[in-house]
Structure 1
């Protein structure tokens, strides 16, 4: 880890028209490459499950240094949670990975994004496909009661390189057993499929391989054991390579990409992949 940086007291930061100043409430380091944190939530902050917002710290020139982060907490939570990688030389993450409880942090006032249910045509099965920190928006979506009303089955797929990269694994394996709002619905409707590509694990291989091998249809996911654009809906978040290859596969299956303006059978976050 880099040399320690001085803490940023919330009182030392100045809010702007587009940014509020919040306080770090908790930090969890999953391993040397991955961490999550929670911050205070302004009373006026509203978002749809799956949206992202700008997060930041003061830069070297004193101006806010900002990056887009998907909100991992449910829309009803009193605090906001985020999942981040650690980039040793990253302009923001080299500092962000060292935040501690009580530190100040910038939060954008206007969340946005296309990884939302409103950008999908109604369907029966919802597949949430992710690599790495692309899991974050799914953590919000699967704790939203409306998700279970919209879809009969929800499948979270998380592909990582190492077993220790499976953040929130216990929570997902328990099918949100401790969630007071959706625990019963999740038990009946939610499936979690983790896959590891560079270490031994009960499921291995990239998402694209799992799609072609039929692994994603095992367990309680049920028939049909193929992707059906009439009933299946997909959300993709993670590496650019995964998104491009998977989107191409879905196009070949007859799926159309959706947006807030024109819903479709699958969505990606254009703000992240360009």
Structure 2
């Protein structure tokens, strides 16, 4: 029989909720121009992703405030020990105005669930893979182009990068030379990878928008490809400006290519999360 006058036991404290974010330590930062920079953070031991996927990235907010997050493609291949990202700088941007100031040792928040359609799983089999990007839309190609499966599935891989000024061609030296020294895929990249930069606002050996060069046929002539895109052989991934993605997707459909997804692979894919 209990003593009704005995004090009640205090309720047990609820266990703390697990954080929805990983906390990554900044390893290095590289400023390409006054508008572009890259950085890398430590990779959590339990973080797994497919080359080409994106995650949510943010910075710790003030006490009690929710962090501001943005979607960033992982620029590292799935096997890398560190996680690399490629970003624009927006002077008054809610996130990038702060993110561009990070230094090695700082903390960056990263979502725990990578996702996206810019992955090999979303494409059917083919012979040639075209990775077409503008600006920081190059980021997923840095991942896909360093994945051994890319070279086992496709005999030829083209990385196309369109920017306004030649100085904006971040990673140009890597795609022209550095990737060929990669210990895992360097030999395959040297034999199978072509880098195709285009510049829209100053003289360059490949001038103009990638869509104009596809439409004119210059893209195919420059690369020694016959005709246009062939649904039986060509597979395409698109990332970058909304205008480029929509225009290029319409061109691809005109060639007879069908958009794919993780659930239903096709001949080309784009990232709907970035296009809206």
- Per the TM superposition, whether the score is higher than 0.5 is yes
What secondary structure is seen at the aligned counterpart in 2 of 1:21? strand
Residue number in structure 1 paired with 2:41: 39
Partner of residue 58, structure 1: 60
**Conserved? CA contact 1:46–1:75, under 8 Å:** yes
Distance between the aligned counterparts of 1:70 and 1:78, measured in 2? 16
Write the deviation string for residues 221-272 of structure 1: whole angstroms up to 9, x where unpaired.
4443311011100000000000011111111111110000000000000011
Identify the match of residue 115 of structure 2 among 89, 112, 126.
Answer: 112
Corresponding residue for residue 244 of structure 1: 246
Matched, 1:204 2:207: yes
Q: Which runs of 4+ in 1 moved over 3 A?
A: 14-17
Unaligned runs of 5+ in 2: 1-15
Deviation for aligned residue 1:175: 6.0
Aligned position for 1:156:
159
In the alignment, the residues of structure 1 paired with residue 225 and residue 72 of structure 2 have an alpha-carbon distance, to the nearest angstrom, of 35
Q: Please give the alpha-carbon distance, in whole angstroms, between the structure 2 residues aligned to 1:66 and 1:27.
A: 19
C-alpha RMSD over aligned residues: 1.5
Structure with higher Rg: it is 2
Does the aligned pair in 2 maintain the 1:125–1:152 contact within 8 Å?
yes
Contact 1:175–1:190 at 8 Å: present in 2 too?
no
Query: Structure 1, unaligned stretches of length 5 or more?
Result: 1-13
1:74-223 equivalence runs, <5 A: 74-174=77-177, 176-218=179-221, 221-223=223-225
Query: What are the Cα deviations for residues 37-68 of structure 1, in whole angstroms up to 9, with x where unaligned?
Result: 00000010111010000110123562111100
Contact 1:29 1:35 in 2 (8 A): yes
> Contact conserved, 2:181 with 2:187, CA < 8 A, in 1?
no
